[in-house]
């Protein structure tokens, strides 16, 4: 039942998938432009270390909570020690494809469980 419902794609949907894949391939713009203009983190998204540099101390709660979760691929990067911007761009693309694919599949499954009526 799950696989039948809404798994056929029309032409426009296929075209959009191709556009999404293309967008994944150009995601490195999202790290190259900030690097070129030498801009910092997004406002309010600093690491505990950066907060220390900004205000001279690390707030207690921030220090406590900032380590609660170790994400498997932090910052859309695969090898943190690799400083080459070309490699980083590659990791960023791979992260984008992994993340977008998981997001797509999860949303598809949730929708299939929720949606009852159609066609």
Out of 55, 79, 80, 87, the only residue in the binding site for other proteins (CB under 8 A) is 55
Q: How far is the CB of 30 from other proteins (least distance, A)?
A: 4
What H or E segment, with its residue span, contains residue 50? helix 48-55
Q: Three-state DSSP class for 1?
A: coil
d(CA 8, CA 94): 26
Out of 7, 53, 81, 83, the only residue in the binding site for other proteins (CB under 8 A) is 7
Q: Would you count residue 85 as binding other proteins (CB under 8 A)?
A: no
Q: Is 49 exposed, middle or buried (0-12, 13-18, 19+ CB in 10 A)?
A: exposed
Q: Would you count residue 60 as binding other proteins (CB under 8 A)?
A: yes
Q: Would you count residue 53 as binding other proteins (CB under 8 A)?
A: no
Query: Are the beta carbons of 30 and 95 closer than 8 angstroms?
Result: no
Out of 1, 3, 37, 86, the only residue in the binding site for other proteins (CB under 8 A) is 37
Q: How far is the CB of 49 from other proteins (least distance, A)?
A: 12
Q: Which of residues 93-112 bind other proteins (CB under 8 A)?
A: 95-96, 98-108, 110-112
Structure tokens at 55: 């205000």
């Amino acid at each position: 039942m799950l696989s039948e419902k809404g798994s056929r794609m029309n032409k426009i949907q296929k075209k959009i998938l191709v556009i999404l894949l293309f967008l994944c391939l150009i995601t490195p713009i999202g790290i190259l432009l900030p690097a070129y203009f030498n801009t910092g983190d997004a406002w309010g998204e600093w690491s505990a270390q950066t907060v220390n540099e900004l205000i001279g101390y690390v707030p207690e709660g921030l220090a406590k909570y900032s380590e609660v979760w170790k994400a498997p691929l932090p910052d859309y990067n695969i090898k943190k020690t690799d400083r080459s911007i070309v490699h980083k761009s590659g990791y960023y693309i791979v992260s984008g494809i992994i993340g977008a694919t998981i997001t797509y599949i999860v949303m598809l499954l949730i929708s299939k469980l929720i949606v009852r009526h159609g066609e």
